[in-house]
Amino acid sequence: MKHPSQIVAGVGRLAAAWLFLGLLSLTLGCEYVRPTMNAPLKQWNPEYGYRSANLPPSPTGSSDSLFIIASFSGGGARASALSYGALRELARTPITWEGRSKRLVDELNIINALSGGSFTAAYYALYGDRIFHDFEYRFLRKDWGSELQARVFWSPSNWFRLWSPYFGRAHVFSELLDEALFDGHTFGDLMARGQRPLIFIHASDMATLSRFEFNQRQFDLICSDLNQLPLSVATASSSALPLILSPIAMKNYAGQCGFEPPPRLREERRTSWGRQRANELRSYLDAEKRPYVHLLDGGLSDNIGMRSVLETTALVGDLESYFKLLGAKKIRKLVYLMVSAETTPDVNQYQLSEIPGLSNVSRALVDIPINRYSSDTLQLMSQVVGQWRVQLRERQHVEESVFTPDADIYFINVSLTEVDDPDEQDRLMSIPTNLSLTDDQIDHLLLAATRLIRNDKDFQRLMRDLEAEGSATPSTPQAADRLTGQDAAQSKSLP
Helix H or strand E segment including 313:
helix 307-316
Please, are residues 470 and 96 in contact by the beta-carbon 8 Å criterion?
Answer: yes
The whole-angstrom separation of Cα 70 and Cα 127 is 18
What is the separation, in whole angstroms, between the first and last Cα of the chain?
71
Alpha carbon distance 223, 284 (integer Å): 10
pLDDT for res 57 = 62
Please state the pTM of the whole predicted model: 0.85
Alpha-carbon torsion 284, 289, 295, 301, what sign? negative
Distance CA 34, CA 422 (A): 50
DSSP one-letter code for 243? T
DSSP class of residue 42 equals S
CA angle 51, 57, 63 (to 5 degrees): 115
Nearest alpha carbon to residue 125 among 71, 198, 64:
198
Q: What is the pLDDT of residue 400?
A: 79
Q: Residues 6 or more apart from 203 whose CB is under 8 A from it? A: 114, 211, 212, 214, 234, 237, 238, 240, 248, 295, 296, 297, 298
> Measured on CA atoms in the order 465, 471, 472, 474, is the torsion positive or negative?
positive
Instruction: Render each residue's pLDDT in the chain as its tens digit; 495 residues.
Output: 445 444 444 545 555 554 454 444 444 444 456 788 899 999 999 999 999 888 766 555 567 899 999 999 998 999 999 999 999 999 999 999 988 999 999 999 999 999 999 999 999 999 999 999 999 999 999 998 888 888 888 888 888 888 888 888 999 999 999 999 999 999 999 999 988 899 999 999 999 989 999 999 999 999 999 999 999 999 999 999 887 889 999 999 999 999 999 998 988 888 888 999 999 999 999 999 999 999 999 988 888 888 889 989 999 988 999 999 888 889 999 999 999 998 765 656 655 566 766 666 555 555 555 666 677 788 888 889 999 998 888 876 677 789 998 999 999 999 999 999 999 999 998 898 888 899 999 999 999 999 999 999 999 999 999 998 874 433 333 333 333 343 333 333 332
3-state SS string for 158-171: HHHHHCCCCCCHHH
Question: How many angstroms separate the CA atoms of 434 and 75, rounded?
Answer: 8
Q: What is the pLDDT of residue 348?
A: 60
Q: Cβ distance 304 to 338 under 8 Å?
A: yes
Q: What is the pLDDT of residue 372?
A: 63
